[in-house]
Structure 1
Amino acid sequence: MSETYITKVHEGQRPDAPTLVLLHGTGGDENQFFNLGRQLLPQAQIVAIRGDVSEGGALRYFRRTGEGVYDMEDLALRTKKMARFIEGLKADGPVVGLGYSNGANILASVMMTHPDLIDAGVLMHPLIPWSPEPAQALAGRRVLITAGRRDPICPAERTQALGDWFGAQGADTEIVWHEGGHEIVQDELTAIAGFLGEYPDG
C-alpha cells in the first residue's frame, strides 16, 4: 500500500489559514468538492484527496464486502495511512475535514482513532456500523453531521447514534437533517457554510 495519495491542492493565503481536507464519495475523485471548498473557505489551504481503493472502477478510501459491510482490517490500515498523511500536512492553522459518504466514513474513523488531529469535521451522510471506543480527546472539537431522514444507505438511527457518540465524547456536535435520501441538498450546503463561518475567512 502506497504511503501517499494523489491530491489537488490550493495554497492558503496566509500562514495561519485553515487547512480544509476534502474527501469524496464512492465513485468521485479529488475534483468532487474542490470548487466547493474554495467557495466555502477561499483563503484556506485546500487539500482534496483521491481515494486509492477501486471498487469495480469506483474510487473509495477503504474496502468493503457489501453495502454497509466494511473490511474492518483494511479500514484500520487505511485510517492510519490517512491520519499520517493529514499529520504530514503540518498545518499552522486549524485543520478542518469535509467528507461525503465513504469520505465521511474515513474522516469519522480518523477522528475516532486520532482525536487530536482534526479540529472540526463535516460528515455528510456518514455510515458507521460499529460501536467506536471512547475518545475523550474529542472534547471541544466541532462536528457537523448532515443526513437525509430517508437515506437508504445510511439509516437515520445510525446517523443519530453517531451524533450521540460524538456528543458523549464532549465534541460540539450538530446534526442537520433533510427529508430526502443520500443526495446532497442546498440546506446542507447552507449549514456547512454557517459551520465553516466560525473560521477567519469563512
Structure 2
Amino acid sequence: MATDSYHALTKAPAKGAPIIFAFHGTGGNEHQFFDLAQQILPDAGVVSPRGDVSEFGAARFFRRTGEGVYDMDDLAQRTEAMAAFIKAQAASAPTSPIYGFGYSNGANILASVAMSYPDLFDRIGLLHPLIPWAPEPVPALSGTRVLITAGQHDPICPWPESQRLIDWFGAQGAQVTTEVHEGGHDLRQQEVLALQTLLTAP
C-alpha cells in the first residue's frame, strides 16, 4: 500500500520525535486536526488523512447504513487499507514512536485498526468513539496508553457504549485514562487538554 493511498496532509518528524496520525470526524477533512497536532507537539511528524467514503458529501472512513449501524464488511476492508497506509507512512521514520488520535468516525477507524493491529500505535486518543460490537480480546494492547473521552448525554455515542469500551480496553491491560463531560457529542477544551497530556507525557 503506497503512502499516497489516502489524500493526506503530512509533515515529517524531527529526528526521534513521534509521528501523530490524526483522524477527522464525519464531514471533516485532513485539515480538521492537523494544526492541533502540530500545536501539541511541534517537533512531531503529522499524518492527517481524508476519509475516502462519501456520505451525502460528508467524508468518512467507512460506510454505515444508519446512525450507529456499520457496514462491517466495509469496515473490515477499510481497516486493512488504513493499517497498510499507516505502516507505509511510519516506514519513513522507523525510529519514531507512533501516536494516533481521532474524533467520532475518526476515533472509530483508529480503534478498529488498533484492535486488528495492536502493535502499530504506542498511544491512542479516542475522542467520542462508538464501537457498537463486542470486540474479541486483544491482549497485545497491554501497556498501550489509551485516552477515551465521552459526553454522558451524547446522542451519537451513548454513554453505556462508551463505558463498555473503557472497560474493554482496561480488560486488555491498556493504560486507560478518561475525560467525560456532562454534554453531548461536542468536543470540549478539557478533552483537548487530556489529549495534550496523552501525547506529551514522558
Partner of 1:9: 10
Of 158, 168, 172, the residue aligned with 2:171 is 168
2:161 aligned with 1:158: yes
Counterpart of 2:100 in structure 1 is 97
Unaligned runs of 5+ in 2: none
Q: CA RMSD in A?
A: 1.4
Query: In the TM superposition, what is the alpha-carbon distance from 1:174 to its structure 2 partner?
Result: 1.3
Per-residue Cα deviation, 1:117-143 (whole angstroms, up to 9, x for no partner): 111100000000000011100011110
Distance 1:130 1:145 in 2: 17
Match of 1:38 in 2: 38
5+ residue gaps, structure 1, are none
State the AA in 2 paired with 1:86. I
- Aligned pair count reads 198
Cα distance in 1, alignment partners of residues 166 and 42 from structure 2? 28
TM-score, normalised to structure 2, is 0.95
Per the TM alignment, residue 92 of structure 1 is displaced from its structure 2 partner at its CA by: 1.8
Moved over 2 A (4+): none
2: CA distance, partners of 1:34 / 1:57? 21
Residue correspondence of structure 1 range 76-95 to structure 2 within 5 A: 76-88=76-88, 89-90=90-91, 91-95=94-98
Give the aligned partner of residue 198 of structure 2. 195
- CA displacement at 1:52 relative to structure 2: 0.3
Q: TM-score, normalised by structure 1?
A: 0.95
* CA distance in 1: counterparts of 2:201 and 2:142, whole angstroms: 17
| Letter aligned with residue 12 of structure 2 | E
> Who is 1:108 aligned against?
111
Query: 2:123 touches 2:198 (CA, 8 Å); kept in 1?
Result: no
Distance 1:157 1:138 in 2: 22
AA aligned opposite 1:48: S
Residue 10 of structure 1 deviates from its aligned partner by 1.4
